[in-house]
Amino acid sequence: MSEQEIREGMLLAVWDEPPLDFDPDTLIRRVEQKKSRRRALVAVGVATAVIAVASLALPGLLPRDRDSQLGADTPASSSAPPSVSVEKKAQRAGDQLAAKLGVTMTNLTDIAGSFNPGRLTYPPFTTSTPARAPGDPEFSGYLYLTDQIGPTSLRVEAGVKGLSTKDFCGGATMCKDVQQKDGSVVTEAEFNEGTPEIARAEVQRVFQSGYVVRISSHNYNPATSAGLRQTVPVRVGVLTELVTDPAVAWQ
């Protein structure tokens, strides 16, 4: 049999086979897509495993002194409260005293405190608040009020300096010390000053730190040097309640 005859026989055998029922090109593309998807899934799995191992190993790799420094750099949850200015402290004391006096003597109206850093002003001789000197009290001022007679005020001074306690009872018709539970001492005094009635009632509280608070009631309005009356508008007992009220933050 010649080569030509063999070739023709093979062609006749293939010619009689039925056509394929699928597209070979489509089959090849699907196989390639599955291979690509399998490789991507393997890569994602490897990357996830690397990240997990690194997260577990990282804390052990950090130096211990660095951990201590990080802890030290973290701010504390509790810190000391910021200091309050003398102006704010004085105004706060005035508001607290006004509230206490209003509860203690319900017949009074128009109660308000007006305090400033430094020493007292004495109207009408001084019309402006003087600059605070090193030896002055921390703050001072007047607690205004109105009773059935008319408007008047109490005089208030507070601080470590500028308030001598040496002759506090000099000339008093009544003077006594009252020890407080916190160790401070309250001194109560009344003065007639040549009149048959009490012309001045005054109370001072001396803390163990040396801080002094003094409140006085007069038979005139000390904020205006006018408004003379027969006796004081507020007696010693009430003054003691004011100076010892725990709601007032003196120091």
DSSP 8-state class, residue 85: P
Say whether both 113 and 186 belong to one domain.
Answer: yes
Say whether both 177 and 105 belong to one domain.
Answer: yes
Higher pLDDT, residue 136 or 191: 191
Q: Confidence band (pLDDT; 50, 70, 90) for 25?
A: low
The secondary structure element, H or E, covering residue 179 is strand 174-179
Q: What is the pLDDT of residue 126?
A: 54
Strand pairing partners for 14? none
Out of 50, 73, 96, a domain closes at: 73
Say whether both 222 and 98 belong to one domain.
Answer: yes
Tokens found for residue 64: 């211990």
Give per-residue pLDDT as tens, 172-223. Answer: 999 999 999 999 999 999 999 999 999 999 999 999 999 999 999 999 999 9
Q: Confidence band (pLDDT; 50, 70, 90) for 95?
A: very high
Q: How many domains does the chain have?
A: 2
Give per-residue pLDDT as tens, 148-173. Answer: 999 999 999 999 876 777 889 999 99
Give per-residue pLDDT as tens, 44-76. Answer: 666 676 676 666 665 555 555 544 454 455 454
In a domain, 24, yes or no: yes
Backbone angles phi and psi of 231, in degrees to 5: -150, -175
* Threshold 0.75, pTM exceeds: no
In a domain, 250, yes or no: no
Out of 46, 73, 100, a domain closes at: 73
Q: For residue 102, give its domain range.
A: 86-243
Say whether both 55 and 94 belong to one domain.
Answer: no
Say whether both 91 and 193 belong to one domain.
Answer: yes
If 0-12 CB within 10 Å is exposed, 13-18 middle and 19+ buried, where does residue 44 land?
A: exposed
Q: How far apart are CA 234 and CA 98, in angstroms?
A: 13
In a domain, 14, yes or no: yes
Say whether both 38 and 134 belong to one domain.
Answer: no
Mean model confidence pLDDT for the chain? 79
Give the closest residue to 220 by CA, choosing from 245, 187, 195.
195
Say whether both 184 and 62 belong to one domain.
Answer: no
